[in-house]
């Protein structure tokens, strides 16, 4: 499992597919983030789950980058 979480190629692929899909008219996660920063008026539980689902690959990629930076400095 650790090998999968530390494979940057897989994480980038997940961000570009699951994280960004559907792409038209704008990436899905981008629309949800704009909705949240606009006050999240009218968001329901399924919308929040959708944010977590589409945002999780980006969280994993951020975790990977931070771990690599911290290991490099040590």
Q: In this model, does residue 15 exceed pLDDT 80?
A: yes
The pLDDT assigned to 7 comes to 87
**20: helix, strand or coil:** coil
**4: helix, strand or coil:** helix
The pLDDT assigned to 71 comes to 87
| pTM across the whole model | 0.82
Using 50, 70 and 90 to split pLDDT, how confident is the model at 73? confident
Rg of the chain over Cα atoms, rounded to whole angstroms, equals 14
- For 30-41, the pLDDT digits (tens) are 999 999 999 999
CA distances from 54 to 2, 47, 65, 68 (A): 21, 11, 19, 23
- For 48-72, the pLDDT digits (tens) are 999 999 999 999 999 999 998 988 8
């Amino acid at each position: 499992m650790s090998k999968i979480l530390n494979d940057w190629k897989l994480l980038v692929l997940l961000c570009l597919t699951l994280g960004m899909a559907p792409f038209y008219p704008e990436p899905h996660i981008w629309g949800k983030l704009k909705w949240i920063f606009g006050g999240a008026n009218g968001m329901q539980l399924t919308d929040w789950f959708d944010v977590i689902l589409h945002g999780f690959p980006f969280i994993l990629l951020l975790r990977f980058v931070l771990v690599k930076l911290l290991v490099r400095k040590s």
